[in-house]
Amino acid sequence: MEDREIVKLYLQKDEKAIQETKNKYENYCFSISYNILHDRQDVDEVLNDTYLATWNAIPPAHPENLSTFIGKITRRLSINKLRSNKALKRGGDEVALSFEELEDCIGDNSFNEQLQNQLLADTINQFLSEIKESDRKIFVCRYYYFDSIEDISKRFFYTKSKVKMSLKRTRDKLKEYLIMEGVMK
């Protein structure tokens, strides 16, 4: 079923919308959530919450791109679940490492607080549109989807060291860009 038809079902509050969303986007959402949580049971919980949140969000929302809309919901819920889990037990993971890497270039405030700032998000998006496509893809895989260095290297057929160097250079360029744009000092 096409996205516009699924959105129409949501707008009509037809419960078939949830099943159609699940049929079309379950693997996509699973991948996003699993890269953050690394736990099947938690992912299953997040996916159920994603479908409910989507149901509650449409209407009033009328997403132009359903995959992006549901992906953002899945990502947000997965990060919230991770925070909840980390409050119960402390430990390192790819997501925490990804946040730490970015904190070096965007300042002392927590990454999540700064990301709430629309100006910062817009500036980062503008920066990403201006860099090489290969660097952009690596950056997005690491810092949006929380893919591991190993997974990124396999996906793009790069060595791990090439991925690490690309990320380092992109973070350095991002920091310079944010300073130049006046978003940070």
| pLDDT given for residue 114 in this prediction | 45
Residues 6+ away with beta carbon under 8 Å from 132:
none
For the stretch 55-64, pLDDT in tens is 999 988 888 8
What CATH code would you report for 94-180? 1.10.10.10
For the stretch 95-106, pLDDT in tens is 555 655 665 565
| pLDDT given for residue 139 in this prediction | 92
- The sign one gets for the Cα dihedral 137, 46, 76, 106 is negative
For the stretch 146-176, pLDDT in tens is 888 998 999 999 999 999 999 999 999 998 9
Q: Could you check whether 3-88 and 94-180 share the same CATH topology?
A: no
What CATH code would you report for 3-88? 1.10.1740.10
DSSP letters of 47-79? Answer: HHHHHHHHHHHTTT---S-HHHHHHHHHHHHHH
For the chain, what are the domain ranges? 3-88, 94-180
